[in-house]
Structure formats: structure tokens, C-alpha cells
Structure 1
Amino acid sequence: MGIATEAPKRRALGKGLESLLPRVQPAAEPAKPSEPAPESGRPREIPLDQLDRNPWQTRSRFDEAQLADLAASIAATGVVQPIIVRPLPGGRFQLIAGERRWLASQRAGKATIPAIVRQASDEQSMEMTIVENLQRTDLNPMEQARAYERLGREFSMTQEQMAKRTGKDRASVANFLRLLRLPVEIQGKVEAGELSFGHARTLLALEDPETILKAAQKVAALSMSVRQTESYVQGLLNPEQKQKGDEKVKEPLDPNVRQARDELQRSLGLKVKIEDKKGRGRVIIEYASLEDFDTLIDVLSRQRS
């Protein structure tokens, strides 16, 4: 929950709501009492039954416990941070941002909710809903992946453009988009929280859907950590490194070299192999597509600049 104005930190994350959604300009003549009065950016109380859900909402799941807590807070102290809506024909309004507050207000038995009215086209509303959600931290990895994919599909945005609009780096955007290559069953496990983003990104190195499914089942059954999953996947990719009669993967690397390899893999989202012999060797980075290669070049170029 925030204060009555939009949180300042949002303005540092690409274009915020203020810059993309123009304010409704005051009418030259006073509006009729039966019509929604134009606003100049100040919140007004809008009946909950006059609000329609945003059809472009990115979020597909809401934590029921958190929603119940928010409803209890709203019942006690009201909605502190106004939602953002746009006017529709017939005196109705459509949500742009604040669906959790809207749902919680309904549960709290409220009749109205404070809202800031903005003029926005369908395209502006869709883009801002997606971008605003991506700037939050509580979307699950698959919701974020689909949101980035939709920005690219609906608005022909490049990964670099998506990164700038959401305040992320391009490598992060690319890593989320790669999750969409996972089999549907695995995407469901990530969305349900059964597998983390780190687990999912590690499993992507296997590429073959059937192999990924089998590996994911074992990872979940044994409650493997991300580090254990990395070792397990390396063993599948390099079976010659396994000890006979043992599932453990040999780790001959110096701990410092191993740590450097793991950090590179997490940073790049790609499989990295370091061959080290007494301080000399080579670093091998594998990529599965031209998109991965472009991301790699972009990251390395930024490191040099």
C-alpha cells in the first residue's frame, strides 16, 4: 500500500503511468450531474459496481491469503492508494491498475473505491497494464514471461525496448522469454511454485521436451536445490563425467573457478563450461538460438563499455 499519490519510485522504471496516460482535461462547461465528472488527476470515489475488469490483465493468480489480509486492512482503514481507471461509454470505468485493491474492496464490503481517472486508448491501456505489472515484484516467472511475450507480439517491441520500458536489463528479459520454451506441464509447475525460476532456467539446457519432463519430475521428487539441479543437469549433458554406480557429477574444478562458472551461467542464462589447468584454460559458452547469441553479444558489449 502506498500514499495517496502515485509512488515516486515508479518514475525511475521507464515510462510510468503519468507519462503514458494523459490526464482527463477539465470540460469547458460543468458536466451534467448524471454524467461522470472529468478529473484533473485528483482521486474520486467510484462505485465498485461501475468498474469493469481489465481484459489485458497480466496476472493470472492472486494469493488468497494476501488478498484476505488486504481486505481486512481496507475494511479497517480504507484504500490508501487510489486505483487507476479509464472512462467507458455509459458511465462505466475500466481498470488500468489496482485489481487487487478492487477485489479486496469487494470482499471488505465497500461500496466505492478511490480512483484516478485517465483518458487512454485500448492500446495505451493494454500496454500500461502489462508494463505496470512487470514493474511489480510479485508476478510469478511464467506471468512475467507471457507479459514480455505479449509486449513483443502486440507492440512489436524488441527485447531492448521491453527492458527500457520496464526498468530491467535485456538479459533478464531474454531469460524470462526462454521459459516459454519449456513444456506446458513444466510451465504449470513453475507457475504453481513447485519449480523456481532458477530450476526452470537450468532445465532449459536439456532442450529435449521429454528429457526436461523426466528431469523435472526427479528434481521435484527429490526436492533438489538449484545447485543440485545444475549438477544433475550437467550429469545428463555429460554422462561420461559420472562416477560408475554413482549419480554424483565429478567437480574437479577449483571452488573459485566453479563459482565463476555458476555466476556466469546465472548472469547469461546460458550453459557455461570452464576448462582450467593451473590457472590457464578456456571458457565455453553454449547458445541454442540466434536470439541467445544476440543477448550474449549485447551483455559482453555492455561489460566492455
Structure 2
Amino acid sequence: MAKATKKQALGRGLSALLKDPDNDIKSAADKNADKVVGNIVELDIKSIEVNPFQPRTNFNEETLRELASSIRELGVIQPITVRKLEFNKYQLVSGERRFRASKLVGLDTIPAYIRITNDQESLEMALVENIQRQDLDPIEIALSYQRLIDEIKLTQEQMSERVGKKRSTIANYLRLLKLDPIIQTGMRDGFVSMGHGRALINIEDASDQLDIYQKIISNSLSVRETENLVRKYKETSNVEIPSKEEETTPKFIKKGIKELGEYFSADVDVKLAKNGKGKLIIPFNSENDFARLKKLMKREK
């Protein structure tokens, strides 16, 4: 307990130092900067502004209240990180959930690590910190990676070194941004998982993505069931996504499939949509086989 008291007293002492206009620390080269940078300082909450570079956009109110309750009982266990803007003014780099929860509790001060950086360094610090430590949803993580590429100009290899993740993992997150926005929203809201999203990426057409997405939601499909559905779709290049319910094939189609199969010497298939429109599928096994089918079709003209 004595160590904790000493640590808190040290933080309050440094806080007083930072409020002395005659000793305003503006850079790491200034007097007493070594006493502040890298140390825990008790800062006035009112002197801290939210970081505009914060990648997190959704804050669950229930979990925020739970964190506030924990802070009320135990205090802020993990200090936030801020960067110094000007005299007695700071900007949040990471720890916004702790910052918000502390304000809910009504704390006047909060323990913080102070960094003296420029905007680009602050952005990189915020993004990397959040990717590593915060409970971001897959789309928020993907957006953070994309911002590191667009705004910090990092390559995937450099990001791999910064965040300690494999390049393949980073690439998988970035691919999620190719999904239709509706699916991205569904992933952020927890209706589908990253596994579902990774399966849906293999469908290039946005409307077909949404068709399968609706099947996932309405039938509560697992990731494996979704992967099988996507695999079947790609194998047949079928516009109409098959459902779990068996559909009745009209007699004229059944008869036609048999006749066409005999004529083309192939396993002809027909996919019928609810509006009566359909798609005729004639598979081929090679270039020569494809030429054979073309010749048969021309013969009918």
C-alpha cells in the first residue's frame, strides 16, 4: 500500500509541475521533461480532449457502465496515454473507454502517460495501441489498418512489425472492407462474425453477397454452412442462391434437362428463380470440349 501511495503522490507532484507556466514543457529537450515523459501523471480530466484520430466509433453503453463501476471501486488501474498540445492542455492518444468511464464516475483527475509527439506519430500510436489492446470489432480493426496504409504510408510488412501480427492476418482484415456496406454494418453489430465475412468475400458480385447474407441471417447459418453455401455457389456460378428448403422443379424443365443432356452429352442443369426466369448451365471439361459444344449450338441455327 505504501508503494501505491508513493506512486500517487509522485503523480500529483508532477501534475503541479505541469501547471507551472514558468516550467512549461514543450519538447523532450526541455528542463524536467525527463521527469514527465514516460511517467504516470495525475491530470485534470477537463484538460484532456478526445483524440480525433480515435478509430473506435462505437462504445457499448452497458460495458461502459460496468467499467465505470469498476473504476468507482478500484480506480483507474491502467493509465491512459495523452500527448501534450500546449500549456495544461492534452489530447487523448489511447484509453478513451477509461476516459469516458472516469467522467461518468465524476473523477476530477485521471492517471496518464504523457507523450510529446506530432500529429502523425499520435495517429500511429493511437491506431497501433487500439489494434493491440482494445476490443474493436473486425471492421474497426480493418479500418485502422487501412488508415495506417493511407495516412501513415505503412506497408503491410511494416504494419506486421508494428502490431506483431502476421501479414496474412492483416491482409484478411483489409479484405473485409471489400464487402458490401450492409454486410460490414452487420458484422459491426454482431449479426455475423469475421468468419462469415471471410467466406462472403469470395463472392465478387455485391447483390449476390447480399443474397447469401440474407440466407445467413434468416437461417442462422454457421460459418461452416456459409462456406459450403459459397462453395456451391462458385461451383455452379448460380445467380439464385439455394436455400435449405427443397424447391419443386417444373416438369417441362425436368424433361428439357434430360433432352439437352442427351444432345450435348453433358450434365446440363437449370436454375430457376421465383419470378420464372432461369439460367441454363452446360459444363465443359476442356477447350476441346468447349469447342464441341459451340459446334453443336451452331448446328441448331
TM-score by length of 2: 0.68
Q: Is the 8 A contact 2:84 2:90 kept in 1?
A: yes
Q: Amino acid of the residue matched to residue 201 of structure 2?
A: L
Superposed displacement of residue 190, structure 1: 0.8
In structure 2, what is the equivalent of residue 207 of structure 1? 204
In structure 1, the residue corresponding to 2:151 is in which secondary structure? helix
Q: Deviations over 1:30-64 (max 9, x none)?
A: 77734666514321211111100011101111222
Q: Does 1:68 align with 2:65?
A: yes
Work out the CA distance in 1 between the residues paired with 2:155 and 2:19. Answer: 45
Superposed displacement of residue 102, structure 1: 0.5
Q: 2:20 aligns with which of 33, 36, 45?
A: 33
In structure 1, what is the equivalent of residue 277 of structure 2? none
Q: Is the 8 A contact 1:56 1:126 kept in 2?
A: yes
Q: Amino acid of the residue matched to residue 116 of structure 1?
A: Y
Q: Is the 8 A contact 1:82 1:113 kept in 2?
A: yes
Q: Does 1:134 align with 2:131?
A: yes
In structure 1, what is the equivalent of residue 99 of structure 2? 102
In structure 2, what is the equivalent of residue 158 of structure 1? 155
Unpaired runs of 5+ in structure 1?
5-25, 248-305
Unpaired runs of 5+ in structure 2?
5-13, 26-32, 248-301
Superposed displacement of residue 218, structure 1: 1.0
Q: Is the 8 A contact 2:93 2:122 kept in 1?
A: yes
Q: Does 1:229 align with 2:226?
A: yes
What are the within-5 Å matches in structure 2 for residues 111-126 of structure 1? 111-126=108-123
In structure 2, the residue corresponding to 1:155 is in which secondary structure? coil
Q: Which has the larger radius of gyration?
A: 2
Q: Is the 8 A contact 2:49 2:92 kept in 1?
A: yes
Taking only aligned residues, the RMSD between alpha carbons, in angstroms, comes to 2.4
Q: Does 1:190 align with 2:187?
A: yes
Superposed displacement of residue 136, structure 1: 2.3
Q: Amino acid of the residue matched to residue 212 of structure 1?
A: Q
Work out the CA distance in 1 between the residues paired with 2:61 and 2:84. Answer: 29
Q: Does 1:238 align with 2:225?
A: no
Work out the CA distance in 2 between the residues paired with 1:106 and 1:96. Answer: 17
Q: Is the 8 A contact 1:46 1:114 kept in 2?
A: yes
Q: Is the 8 A contact 1:57 1:130 kept in 2?
A: yes
In structure 2, the residue corresponding to 1:55 is in which secondary structure? coil
Q: Deviations over 1:256-275 (max 9, x none)?
A: xxxxxxxxxxxxxxxxxxxx
Alignment CA distance shift 1:96-1:211 (3 Å): same
Q: Is the 8 A contact 1:75 1:109 kept in 2?
A: no
Q: Which has the higher contact order (CA 8 A, sep 6+)?
A: 1
Q: Deviations over 1:172-230 (max 9, x none)?
A: 11111101111111111111111100000101111100100111011111110000101
Work out the CA distance in 2 between the residues paired with 1:137 and 1:190. Answer: 17
Identity %: 42
Work out the CA distance in 1 between the residues paired with 2:133 and 2:74. Answer: 23
Alignment CA distance shift 1:209-1:46 (3 Å): same
Work out the CA distance in 2 between the residues paired with 1:150 and 1:195. Answer: 24
Superposed displacement of residue 159, structure 1: 1.2
Q: Is the 8 A contact 1:198 1:226 kept in 2?
A: yes
Work out the CA distance in 2 between the residues paired with 1:83 and 1:240. Answer: 51
| Count, aligned residues | 219
Q: Deviations over 1:108-154 (max 9, x none)?
A: 11111011211111111000100111112611000011111111111
Work out the CA distance in 2 between the residues paired with 1:228 and 1:32. Answer: 60
Q: Amino acid of the residue matched to residue 198 of structure 2?
A: R
Work out the CA distance in 1 between the residues paired with 2:111 and 2:237. Answer: 63
Q: Is the 8 A contact 2:40 2:79 kept in 1?
A: yes
Q: Is the 8 A contact 2:37 2:116 kept in 1?
A: no
In structure 1, what is the equivalent of residue 52 of structure 2? 55
Q: Is the 8 A contact 1:84 1:118 kept in 2?
A: yes
